[in-house]
Structure 1
């Protein structure tokens, strides 16, 4: 039988063998490979669909009556085109206002445009306002009236509008739009949830299966338990890193393919920081998932021992999606939550250059402390196969 002295004399880098085994098992897992490919395809497809929907021109059918209605609609189309708005107004002539209302009520037209006395226009809708029609038809009617009134007064629209122009300077023209920033934050939160749960539960199940099958007793006689834990953590962290890089790359390629290449640089920087934060934070999570497995004696126990971790992952998921403003700033310095919060702030352009560095240092310090405590609990509980343990019970045990 191998003595403890012989076990302690095992190579200090034996964890590499364990890590290699963990990576090999993952690469041979068809379910893991298929889920990775499916997620990459889903990311690219969702971005392609989003780009198609945003680029698609919306058609608004306008039922019109009156001599100048065609001119109003034509002007509205020019204004929409100048504003780079993907909307086109099509006209459906009607003999009078009653016919216009009939078309709108029958839903053969989205909006009706009828003249009013002594001058002006009225829009008619069925049950809700069409914002595009209200914006551009109103602006068109005002522009036409402005030009006509200027002509009647013997002047020009340029003279009447002199001194009224307003320029708009952007202090940060490279910033992405708020809508896309929210999508990026959601993607970061979802990828955190997916990676943490997928790889974390894999570690816990691997540990508890080794305990249940008594394989851990054989491993413990040949490998120091600390080395066994390091190998499991490193192996799964490497695979999580590779998977996240693939997902981030797919997202950036999808953005570039949908005509958002000008925003790839900023989002790419935020995605890079997200991968770094995730890897550092996952070292702590992986250690805790290994502890969850070591406290259990069978797979059924994992539901109890892994509950705190599952709750933590859900909290981070919802924090990444719903937090904003000051709450998100605070969250970006809280370890684990900062994995999602800080990169999301970087994507929306609200974080200074030094903030992710400081947040990462805080995360690294917290990770170091968590790994030290987790390793102690893991070593003390791994060989206890009689009954499920709590963390307090495991800490009370002697090495």
Structure 2
């Protein structure tokens, strides 16, 4: 025989999965993620083309542009250079004004170099030409001094290394924190609101009084929590899968193993933590007597989740370490620390245990408040009244 909580959970899953608003919102979110990743991949693969004007008699500038073009081609800088030969300085300025050229390189008769543009020259172009000109000038001076460039620059190279052994760039960590915080917020708020709405709908229509004769309130709450948790988890798995697959087509594919491990931890933490969120949202629904009351009963939860969203993705240093042990912020902060490489192997385990204990406490407290408030009508119910009502019912029994 099927357990009552399983019937309730199945109903919650089916109703949510067939809800057009939910499906449309999920499709829009997936499209946004895919579009963002596609735009990032396009920007990473895009090659910038520049036409550089050079006065025909300026051999040094012509040599520099040709050398820069070869350097860009061999070093995969995604910059293409074209040469626009002009007769004199006036013709170079006219080419810039007419947009026939993007920049004008001049050696100024050996007294110095200048890169001009009708507007500010592109930073990447300026860096490429600047490095090329510097190398060219140093090579000429080395030849004049009877030595070579290799001899002059020997031992001057700086090799960078990261001592923590984590190859993930800080900007990638920040972006991952933002994404995880977003997934947590949308999953918790969206699915939580559905639970609260389902509870108040049954309460306002008095349907819950009929259900309560066949299903114990404890199992009714368990079914709603489990059903909503399954939907929230499936939603995040789907969005995370789309993100990881899209990531493999970008320059960030090298950090895909680290990102995958982080997403696994996030899914585990979210699965546990959302149970507490779902239970609290169910209580918020039971505290209301009308749909209009949900704005008041769910506001504290919304403020909490919004605070977690805003704080976790921007946290760093000591604050991030502290948050990684405090539920529900640990749902986001600990996986981010795993990605950043500053969490020891045992820290996620300890943080998860803290989250499990907190979730159990939240569920037990919510179950009492839910049973005490669900049958009360006539106005909004406070947590104190709900807990007192359940205690009185238990003692009376």
* Same topology, TM > 0.5: yes
Match of 1:236 in 2: 228
Q: Deviation at 1:99?
A: 3.4
Give the conservation status (yes or no) of the 8 Å contact 1:174–1:263: no
Q: 1:135 aligned to 2:127?
A: yes
Q: 1:36 aligned to 2:26?
A: yes
- For residues 330-369 of structure 1, what are the alpha-carbon distances to aligned partners after superposition, in whole Å with 9 as ceiling and x for unaligned? 2222201121222222233333322222221121111111
- For residues 44-83 of structure 1, what are the alpha-carbon distances to aligned partners after superposition, in whole Å with 9 as ceiling and x for unaligned? 3321221111111112332323222121122223344454
Alignment coverage as a number of residue pairs: 389
- For residues 177-217 of structure 1, what are the alpha-carbon distances to aligned partners after superposition, in whole Å with 9 as ceiling and x for unaligned? 23332222221111112111111000000000000010111
Q: Deviation at 1:108?
A: 4.3
Q: 1 CA distance for matches of 2:316 and 2:163?
A: 22
Q: 1:48 aligned to 2:13?
A: no
Q: Deviation at 1:288?
A: 0.5
Alpha carbon RMSD of aligned pairs, Å? 2.2
Give the conservation status (yes or no) of the 8 Å contact 1:63–1:100: yes
Q: Deviation at 1:253?
A: 1.0
Q: Secondary structure of 1:389's partner?
A: coil
- Superposition map of 1:177-326 within 5 A: 177-258=169-250, 260-326=252-318
Match of 1:365 in 2: 357
| Deviates further, 162-171 or 326-335 | 162-171
Q: 2 CA distance for matches of 1:173 and 1:94?
A: 52
Q: Deviation at 1:174?
A: 5.5
Q: 1 CA distance for matches of 2:312 and 2:74?
A: 37
Could you say if the C-alpha distance between residues 150 and 322 of structure 1 is closer, same or farther in structure 2, counting changes exceeding 3 Å? same
Q: Secondary structure of 2:52's partner?
A: strand
Match of 1:18 in 2: 8
Q: Deviation at 1:36?
A: 2.6
| Deviates further, 272-281 or 157-166 | 157-166
Q: 1:328 aligned to 2:320?
A: yes
Give the conservation status (yes or no) of the 8 Å contact 1:199–1:236: yes
Q: 2 CA distance for matches of 1:175 and 1:133?
A: 28
| Deviates further, 36-45 or 236-245 | 36-45
Q: Return the match for 2:153 from 157, 161, 170.
A: 161
Match of 1:77 in 2: 69
Q: Secondary structure of 1:113's partner?
A: strand
Q: Secondary structure of 1:120's partner?
A: coil
